[in-house]
């Protein structure tokens, strides 16, 4: 047997053993991510393998659902129409990043999804033992205001209102709009794996005409779906 071929076979066998035993390969992915239909989701994925070399840079990553490939970093691979144009691996495989983004999430995009690593001219290996699933819901039904009780204040008293949502797409966070002009500030922070919180804070000074009217906050997800919340401004009695 050719020495080069024998070494290649030996290396592949050792890798298969490492993957099967779980002693050398380490992977970090969330098991389930809740995501709003028609919005986008970023599935965070990191892995570690202690042995690297020139061959490492030639590896290809594939996210799969059953026998179907839904995302790949292989430029020559063509996805099926169902995922074409809305699914891509955003991470860099050689940098231990296997993150995957799926846009325009559909009700059928629940999974389960596995990560597969391929070595060219050798074999494919199922890399993620535990799958990732998406919990797709149609409407955002959570309260946008932490405290939806009316604001009771005097005329010319400054008021600050905060509107907040939880989402799964930090690369394209929701957009906020308010029914009243004022100074706005938007911030996004990471919660747990796969989930993020984005909030918008509005500060303004109400006038007499603003009382007994709802202050509305509208959130736009991926320019596809919107949700709205409101809180009442009440004039403090004298």
How far does Cα 137 stand from its chain's mean position? 14
pLDDT tens across 15-37, in order?
333 344 344 567 788 889 999 99
pLDDT tens across 55-85, in order?
555 677 889 898 888 998 888 888 888 899 9
Percent share of the chain, pLDDT over 70: 76
Q: What integer best gives the mean pLDDT of the chain? A: 78
The pLDDT score that the predictor gives to residue 1 is: 36
**Where does residue 209 rank: exposed (0-12), middle (13-18), buried (19+ CB within 10 A)?**
exposed
H or E stretch including 16? Answer: helix 3-21
- β-bridge mates for residue 233, sequence order: 151
pLDDT tens across 199-217, in order?
999 999 888 888 888 889 9
The pair of structure tokens assigned to 126 is 């199922």
Does residue 135 surpass a pLDDT of 90?
A: yes
pTM of the shown model: 0.77
Neighbours of 8 (CB within 10 A): 15
The pLDDT score that the predictor gives to residue 28 is: 81
pLDDT tens across 138-151, in order?
888 676 776 666 76
b/e per residue 108-137 (b: at least 16 CB within 10 A)? ebebebbbbbbbeeeeebebbeebbebebe
**Where does residue 18 rank: exposed (0-12), middle (13-18), buried (19+ CB within 10 A)?**
middle
Span(s) in the chain for CATH 2.60.40.10: 26-137, 143-233
**In CATH, which of 2.60.40.10, 3.40.190.10, 3.10.20.600, 3.40.50.970 is domain 143-233?**
2.60.40.10
The pLDDT score that the predictor gives to residue 4 is: 31
Hey, what CATH topology would domain 26-137 get?
A: Immunoglobulin-like (2.60.40)
Does residue 120 surpass a pLDDT of 80?
A: no
């Amino acid at each position: 047997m050719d020495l080069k071929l024998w070494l290649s076979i030996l290396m592949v066998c050792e890798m298969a053993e490492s993957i099967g035993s779980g002693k050398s390969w380490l992977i970090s992915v969330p098991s389930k991510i809740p995501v709003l239909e028609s919005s986008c989701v970023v599935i965070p994925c990191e892995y570690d393998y202690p042995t690297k070399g020139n061959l490492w840079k030639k590896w290809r990553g594939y996210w799969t659902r059953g026998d179907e490939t839904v995302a790949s970093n292989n430029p020559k691979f063509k996805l099926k129409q169902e995922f074409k144009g809305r699914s891509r691996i955003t991470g860099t495989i050689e940098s231990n990043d296997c993150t995957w983004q799926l846009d325009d999430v559909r009700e059928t995009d629940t999974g389960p999804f596995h990560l597969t690593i391929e070595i060219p001219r050798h074999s494919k290996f199922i890399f993620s033992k535990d799958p990732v699933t998406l919990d797709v819901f149609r409407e955002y039904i959570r309260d946008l205001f932490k405290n939806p009780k009316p604001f009771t204040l005097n005329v010319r008293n400054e008021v600050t209102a905060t509107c907040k949502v939880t989402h799964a797409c930090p690369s394209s966070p929701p957009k906020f709009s308010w029914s009243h002009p004022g100074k706005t500030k938007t911030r996004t922070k990471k919660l747990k794996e796969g989930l993020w919180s984005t909030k918008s804070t509005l500060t303004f000074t109400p006038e007499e005409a603003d009382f007994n009217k709802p202050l509305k906050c509208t959130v736009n997800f991926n320019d596809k779906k919107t949700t709205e919340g409101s809180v009442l401004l009440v004039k403090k009695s004298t």
